[in-house]
């Protein structure tokens, strides 16, 4: 592997850095976007059951908040009603929406960086290709004319230029394609979680309005 990197020349090092960063981001997102950390099944039903007759105590709300990202959104509604039992439905909805926006920002963390790598890696590969072509033309222009004949250029420099061009093109695609696939996968996963949280917030809002009127 190291011999390939050496043959590809210095333009491949930014691609190596991108590949390491992309791998780290993929591992981090796989860890952070697990269902139990974001939106555990039946969490909203359990929260409604606990608060069937009254708003839960602050320590119960704190446990809910620490449960998951969805728990943070649901806990914001309970905290708002605890702080102001006469809160209007509009303000209660605004509180839940604000918590939902913070949750969306947390779920989308690092996705922009992964998308940037997917977009930039082919361009970095193209840069290496261009530099390789410059090496090739340099090997040809370095030849002189002897007795009216033109020499064939520097074979070593020609081979190096071809290696730089081909390796950087291939490595750029090798970094970009998986990054794009994982970005689309995580994007779809986040959109699904956001839909779940929106539906859960609406369900909790109807329940909180019932508590508010009682």
Residue spans per domain, the chain: 11-118+172-213
pLDDT at 145 over 90: no
Average pLDDT over residues 149-167: 67
pLDDT at 94 over 60: yes
Query: Of 79, 103, 102, which is closest to residue 91 (Cα–Cα)?
Result: 79
Average pLDDT over residues 35-59: 90
Query: Of 15, 16, 24, 21, which is closest to residue 122 (Cα–Cα)?
Result: 15
Give me the pLDDT at residue 163, please: 74
The residue behind tokens 């602050």 is: 58
DSSP 109-162: TTHHHHHHHHHHHHHHHHHHHHHHHHHHHHHHHT--EETTEEP---HHHHHHHH
pLDDT at 165 over 50: yes
pLDDT at 86 over 90: no
pLDDT at 53 over 90: no
Q: 13-17, 50-54, 124-128, 146-150 — which is least confidently predicted? A: 146-150
Own/partner pairs, 19-23, CB within 8 angstroms, 24+ separation: 19/171, 19/174, 19/175, 21/113, 21/117, 22/114, 22/117, 22/118, 22/175, 22/178, 22/179, 22/182
Give me the pLDDT at residue 13, please: 87
Q: What is the pLDDT of residues 5-25, one digit of tens each?
A: 666 567 788 898 999 999 999
Across the chain, mean pLDDT equals 86
Residue 127 exposed, middle or buried by CB count within 10 Å (0-12, 13-18, 19+): middle
Average pLDDT over residues 178-183: 97
The confidence band for 146, taking pLDDT boundaries of 50, 70 and 90, is: very low
pLDDT at 143 over 60: no
- Please tell me the pTM assigned to this model: 0.82
């Amino acid at each position: 592997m190291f011999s390939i990197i050496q043959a590809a020349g210095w333009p491949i090092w930014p691609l190596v850095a991108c590949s390491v960063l992309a791998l780290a981001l993929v591992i981090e997102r796989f860890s952070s976007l697990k269902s139990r950390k974001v939106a555990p099944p039946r969490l909203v039903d359990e929260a409604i059951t606990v608060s069937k007759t009254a708003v839960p105590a602050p320590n119960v709300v704190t446990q809910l908040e620490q449960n998951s990202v969805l728990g943070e959104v649901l806990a914001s509604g309970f905290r708002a009603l605890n702080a102001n039992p006469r809160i209007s439905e509009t303000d209660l909805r605004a509180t839940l929406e604000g918590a939902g926006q913070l949750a969306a920002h947390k779920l989308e963390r690092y996705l922009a960086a992964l998308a940037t790598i997917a977009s930039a890696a082919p361009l970095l590969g193209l840069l290496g290709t261009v530099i390789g072509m410059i090496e090739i033309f340099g090997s040809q222009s370095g030849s002189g004319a002897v007795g009216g004949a033109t020499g064939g250029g520097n074979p070593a420099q020609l081979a190096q230029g071809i290696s730089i061009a081909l390796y950087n093109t291939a490595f750029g695609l090798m970094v970009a394609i998986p990054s794009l696939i994982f970005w689309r996968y995580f994007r779809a996963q986040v959109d699904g979680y956001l839909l779940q949280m929106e539906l859960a917030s609406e369900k909790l809002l109807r329940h909180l309005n019932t508590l508010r009127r009682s």
